[in-house]
Amino acid sequence: MSELQLIAELKDGNQQAFIKLIDLYKHLVFNTVLNMVQQFEEAEDLTQEVFIQVFQSIQHFRGDSKLSTWLYRIAITKCLDWQRKNNAKKRMNSMKSIFGLDGHQDIIPDFVHPGIQLANKEKATMLFKALKQLPENQRIAFTLIKADGLSYEEVSEIMQTSIKSLEGLMHRAKENLRKSLEQFYKS
């Protein structure tokens, strides 16, 4: 089945087409979300939310881009929304602890991607911490290109930016990561 046929069947409400969509793209969406949020359970929930949104909004898909590009955009938007909510909760909990309204403070466990071998966990932990510190656009570009293996052309379409801008984002991301990880590799 071609992508155009799949889209047409999805727009017609065909449940088998939706199941096929999930089978084709579940790993792509999950891996992207996991790399962005770095929490396994949250990645599973957000992946479901992505497919729910696709199901609810497929009628609005104009076909200006590939279906996978549209899925990436939805997944990234969901992740960014989740991160903003999560950051707001952290700020609120921090304020509560400052004023003594809360007896404990959230402790966020180190994230270790399930695909990382035991010997590389320390390096992976440091890398994921450094990635979290990158500005949003740099983190998205770096994750899509380096972790998901997408081309600059695909990522520029997903992020709706020029390849030249994307190259600048990647350069700054690499520089920022180099600075963040410099201490780790010196010791």
Q: Which pLDDT tens digit goes with each residue over 102-121? A: 544 444 445 555 555 555 66
Where along the chain do its domains lie?
Answer: 1-109, 112-187
pLDDT at 39: 87
Using DSSP's 3-state secondary structure scheme, residue 151 falls into: coil
112-187 shares the fold of 1-109: no
What pLDDT sits at residue 104? 46
Spatial distance between the Cα atoms of 23 and 152, rounded to a whole number of angstroms: 25
The list of the chain residues with pLDDT below 70 reads 88-121, 185-187
CA 24/CA 148 separation, integer angstroms: 15
DSSP at 64: S
Spatial distance between the Cα atoms of 69 and 130, rounded to a whole number of angstroms: 26
Q: What is the Cα gyration radius of the chain?
A: 19
Per-residue confidence (pLDDT) for residue 21, from 0 to 100: 95
Cβ(66)–Cβ(4) below 8 Å: no
Topology of domain 1-109, CATH: Rna Polymerase Sigma Factor; Chain: A (1.10.1740)
List the structure tokens of 151. Answer: 């081309």
Helix axes 40-57, 15-37, angle to 10 degrees: 140
pLDDT at residue 124, as a whole number: 72
Please report, for residues 27, 113, 115, 126, 127, the alpha-carbon distance to residue 123 in angstroms, rounded to integers and kept in the order given: 24, 11, 13, 5, 6
Residue 107: the pLDDT is: 42
Does an H or E element contain 122, and which?
helix 121-133
State the pLDDT at residue 181: 87
User: What is the value of pTM for the model shown?
Assistant: 0.69
pLDDT digits (tens, 9 = 90+) for 111-148: 555 555 555 667 777 888 888 889 999 999 998 998 88
Secondary-structure breakdown of the chain: helix, strand, coil percentages, each rounded to the nearest 5 = 80, 0, 20
Q: What pLDDT, on a 0 to 100 scale, did the predictor assign at position 125?
A: 76
| CATH architecture of the domain with residue range 112-187 | Orthogonal Bundle (1.10)
